[in-house]
């Protein structure tokens, strides 16, 4: 075998299930999946996408994704192997889009850099964190981002966007799904005290162990409508925790803004339960809950109706 032959990881995989690539452990077959190991492989696949005009779905760690039980048609790009890390200066680090957030947090910690402690407990990647402006502990991704390199599927060009151009807001960014594929990001940290950084990260891990469910879940289901109205508390007041259930999906007994998979849950179960939570919050508190989870894949007619209602509510 010589070095000119393609890496097998860049070959199309037709034997993968979506459930293996989402923390909900839900999802049917992926028709044509790729796991590029570097940027060159990724760009080659994106060229194929443009040429063949196939539907494209992008997955990182699947930490907030609901994949349809029927699976995903077209091409699925799984970016979790884009794990390059490059130190640019004493405080600036470039991360590949697929770097897991816990690894990014640990990288900053080892350099005594503060600002990324929140990442330690989030089951996602740098690319996903930028797309949704992930945050915790009073920190968020927008605080760190200086530049993001992405591939624009419309212009077929690599572009560099500043944090200002990405127009970050609460759990939102200017990244356009279906057009912008994040390649890497330059994050700027601040010099800190190693003991303080370690303590903050340990506290975060311990808090999540005691307050977040261990069962398969997709993280926070809805965005908090206001700082003084956390969804978890609203659901607890409504009696949803450990009680409301659709099929094998249940509102977690530990946290009211988490839905857990009891084993054998489906995508439609999840959406039905989300809709029940959304309607109840509106009726009881007159608040509109907007999904923090994402729905991906080949939706049934009921799933399309449920998801469209959830995001337009």
Helix (H), strand (E), coil (C) string for 22-70? CCCCCCCEEEEEECCCCHHHHHHHHHHHHHHCCCEEEECCCCCEEECCC
pLDDT at 8: 37
Rounded CA-CA distance 241/186 in Å is 39
* CATH T-level assignment (fold) for domain 8-78: 3.30.43
What are the CA-CA distances from residue 239 to residues 197, 212, 236, 252, 292 (Å)?
37, 17, 5, 11, 21
Rounded CA-CA distance 144/116 in Å is 8
pLDDT at 60 over 90: yes
What are the CA-CA distances from residue 141 to residues 72, 170, 180, 269, 300 (Å)?
29, 10, 18, 31, 34
Residues labelled as active-site residues: 171, 220, 292
Enter the tokens of residue 198.
């370690």
* Residue at token pair 């839905």: 259
Pairing of strands 259-261, 85-87: unpaired
Q: Average pLDDT of 74-89?
A: 96
Enter the tokens of residue 138.
């009073």
Question: So where are the chain's domains?
Answer: 8-78, 85-198, 214-312
User: Left (φ > 0), alpha (ψ -120 to 50) or beta: where does 35 sit?
Assistant: beta
Where do the H-state alpha helices sit in the chain? 39-52, 101-110, 126-132, 163-166, 194-211, 231-237, 267-285, 301-312
pLDDT at 1: 37
What are the CA-CA distances from residue 166 to residues 57, 112, 130, 147, 205 (Å)?
21, 28, 9, 9, 29
Enter the tokens of residue 115.
């600002």
* Residue at token pair 């490059």: 86
pLDDT at 138: 86
Convert the pLDDT of each residue in 281-290 to its tens digit.
Answer: 999 999 999 9
Convert the pLDDT of each residue in 177-222 to its tens digit.
Answer: 889 999 999 999 999 999 999 999 999 999 888 989 999 999 999 9
Q: Which residues are within 8 A (CB) of 195 and not within 5 positions of it... i.e. 6 or more apart? A: none
Q: Average pLDDT of 231-239?
A: 98
CATH code given to domain 214-312: 3.90.78.10
pLDDT at 91 over 80: yes
Q: Average pLDDT of 69-96?
A: 97
pLDDT at 313 over 90: no
pLDDT at 17 over 90: yes
Select from 3.90.1150.10, 1.10.1740.10, 3.30.479.30, 3.30.465.10 the CATH code of 85-198. Answer: 3.30.465.10
N-terminal to C-terminal alpha carbon distance within the chain: 56
pLDDT-derived band at 62 (thresholds 50, 70, 90) equals very high
pLDDT-derived band at 36 (thresholds 50, 70, 90) equals very high
Q: Are 233 and 216 in contact (CB under 8 A)?
A: no
Pairing of strands 65-67, 294-296: parallel
Residue (of 127, 273, 135) closest to 204 by Cα position:
135
Convert the pLDDT of each residue in 101-122 to its tens digit.
Answer: 999 999 999 999 999 999 998 9
């Amino acid at each position: 075998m010589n070095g000119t032959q393609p890496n097998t990881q860049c070959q199309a995989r037709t034997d993968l299930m979506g459930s293996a690539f989402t923390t909900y452990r839900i999802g049917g077959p992926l028709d044509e999946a790729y796991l590029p190991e570097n940027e060159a492989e990724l760009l080659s696949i994106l060229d194929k996408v443009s040429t063949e005009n196939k539907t494209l779905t992008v997955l990182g760690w699947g930490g907030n994704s609901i994949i349809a039980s029927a699976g995903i048609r077209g091409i699925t790009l799984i970016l979790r192997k884009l794990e390059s890390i490059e130190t640019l200066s004493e405080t600036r680090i470039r991360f590949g889009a697929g770097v897991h957030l816990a690894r990014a947090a640990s990288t900053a910690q080892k350099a005594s850099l503060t600002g990324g402690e929140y990442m330690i407990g989030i089951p996602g990647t740098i690319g996903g964190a930028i797309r949704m402006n992930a945050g915790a502990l009073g920190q968020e991704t927008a605080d760190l981002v200086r530049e993001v390199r992405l591939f624009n599927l419309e212009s077929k060009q690599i572009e560099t966007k500043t944090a200002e151009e990405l127009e970050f807001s609460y759990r939102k960014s200017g990244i356009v799904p279906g057009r912008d594929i994040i390649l890497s990001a330059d994050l700027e940290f601040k010099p800190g005290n190693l003991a303080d950084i370690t303590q903050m990260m340990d506290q975060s891990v311990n808090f999540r162990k005691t307050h977040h469910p261990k069962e398969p879940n997709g993280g926070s289901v809805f965005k908090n409508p206001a700082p003084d109205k956390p969804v978890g508390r609203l659901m607890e007041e409504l009696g949803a925790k450990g009680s409301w259930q659709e099929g094998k999906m249940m509102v977690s007994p530990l946290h009211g803004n988490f839905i857990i998979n009891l084993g054998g849950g489906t995508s439609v179960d999840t959406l039905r339960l989300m809709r029940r939570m959304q309607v109840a919050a509106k009726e009881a508190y007159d608040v509109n809950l907007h999904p923090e989870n994402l729905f991906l894949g080949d939706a049934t007619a009921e799933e399309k109706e449920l998801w469209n209602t959830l995001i337009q509510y």
